[in-house]
Amino acid sequence: MKILITHPEFEAPGGISNYYKRLQNKFKIPIVHFIVGKRTREEGFLARIFRMFHDHYKFVKCLKTNNIDLVHINPSLNLKSFIRDGIFALLAKINKKKILVFFHGWEKSFEAHIDHNFIWTFKFLFGKSDAFIVLAEQFKKTLERWGIIQPIYKGVTVIDEDMLAGFDIQNALKKRQSSEKYRVLFLSRITRAKGIYETIEAASLLKGKYPMIELIVAGDGDELEKVKSLVHNRNMSNVTFVGYVRGEEKRRIFEKSQVFCYPTYGEGLPTCVIEAIAYGLPIVTRPVGGLADFFKNEVHGFITDSLNPNIFANLIERLFLDKELYNKISLSNYQYAQSHFLAYKAILQLESIYKKILENQNIF
């Protein structure tokens, strides 16, 4: 059994690259990693067009020269990935390879476009795949509504176990409770759809009442400069921007923060939330994607359908004031991550799915 997995460069930002970086070298079966998407130092439209055609050429060559048994494709449900990865799926099927499609990200707005305009395009590109993995029950129901009759499995996001090495939840709790500052963390791409403006407004509402509450904004993105200007113009001294973080710097930010606030508009199963849970941070978020399948109020933090910053400010305030509830949620989250989001569990699931697909002789 030899599997080809398509994914972005390991050092690229984003959940898919992080996912396979964390699984790298942990498989017990032969894996060929095939890099897709934008490359480091790639500049210009022509370079991007050349790379796209060259990737598809190399992909077909790789299928033929490496005796690949199954192709594992990792799209997100958005326009760019839909076209790029759909072509990979089509080429794999033309070359009579079995295909597993794992949808990581899922944009509800693009789901609506498929419903109204691209349902037959979806079936043409992905409809002959042998199995699917999604991160939320609602995504499974959507695929079934689109006519998918192949097996659809529920996947998980994984945490970086190396990043957690030596982390002591009891010691972290003591430090968080005795700290003079109460730090609310927002760590993600800085875009409107991740809820950055709602988070900023919640921090503004808390500022006057609780001077010790601070907001740490970690990440970069299209809205970063606009958000910085907003904070500067409103003289919000309780907001700190730390930029894109990784490795030890990322670990330190999780360790010294008290709450993770993430009013996202839509997700698959966001890695940033899973990482925050692993560090024992109570979460304040919305019931989107895979979060809706497991997240419970007062167990993992608080979850609300609202996008009202007043609601988020009130929920953060409750965690700030109720230390007993805070400790309960913090310990629960740490233990939940240990039980559900370790890399070896994802490996076992993937290898089991690969085996089931290859044992099934039916080719869709």
Report d(CA 133, CA 236) in Å as an integer: 43
Return the CATH fold of 169-340: Rossmann fold (3.40.50)
Neighbours of 238 (CB within 10 A): 20
Please say if the pLDDT value at position 363 is more than 70: no
Range 228-236 average pLDDT: 95
| Structure confidence at residue 364 as a pLDDT band (50, 70, 90) | very low
Sign of CA dihedral 13, 15, 16, 21: positive
Each residue of 100-119: pLDDT tens digit?
Answer: 999 998 998 999 999 999 99
Each residue of 282-335: pLDDT tens digit?
Answer: 999 999 999 999 999 999 999 999 999 999 999 999 999 999 999 999 999 999
H or E element, residue 134: strand 131-134
Q: What is the mean pLDDT of the chain?
A: 93
Please say if the pLDDT value at position 230 is more than 50: yes
Report d(CA 202, CA 259) in Å as an integer: 13
Place of tokens 């409809």: 127
CATH architecture for residues 3-158+342-359: 3-Layer(aba) Sandwich (3.40)
Range 19-32 average pLDDT: 92
Please say if the pLDDT value at position 28 is more than 90: yes
Report CA 1 to chain centroid distance, whole Å.
28
- The pLDDT value given to residue 47: 84
Say which residue, 184 or 208, is predicted with more confidence. Answer: 184
Range 140-165 average pLDDT: 92
- The pLDDT value given to residue 362: 53
Please say if the pLDDT value at position 174 is more than 70: yes
| Structure confidence at residue 1 as a pLDDT band (50, 70, 90) | confident
Each residue of 181-192: pLDDT tens digit?
Answer: 999 999 999 999
| Structure confidence at residue 13 as a pLDDT band (50, 70, 90) | confident
Each residue of 53-112: pLDDT tens digit?
Answer: 999 999 999 999 999 999 999 999 999 999 999 999 999 999 999 999 999 989 989 999
Range 347-357 average pLDDT: 96
Report d(CA 175, CA 158) in Å as an integer: 26
Percent above pLDDT 90 for the chain: 81
Long-range contacts of 46-53 (CB under 8 A, 24+ apart): 52/84
For residue 182, give the nearest of 343, 6, 345, 326 by alpha carbon. 326
- Say if residues 128 and 99 touch (Cβ distance below 8 Å): yes
Q: How far are the Cα atoms of 77, 320, 345 from residue 202, in angstroms, in the given order?
A: 30, 14, 36
Neighbours of 242 (CB within 10 A): 15
Q: Record the pTM.
A: 0.86
- The pLDDT value given to residue 361: 57
Token pair of 45 as six digits: 């439209």
In the chain, residues under CATH classification 3.40.50.2000 are 3-158+342-359, 169-340
Please say if the pLDDT value at position 40 is more than 60: yes
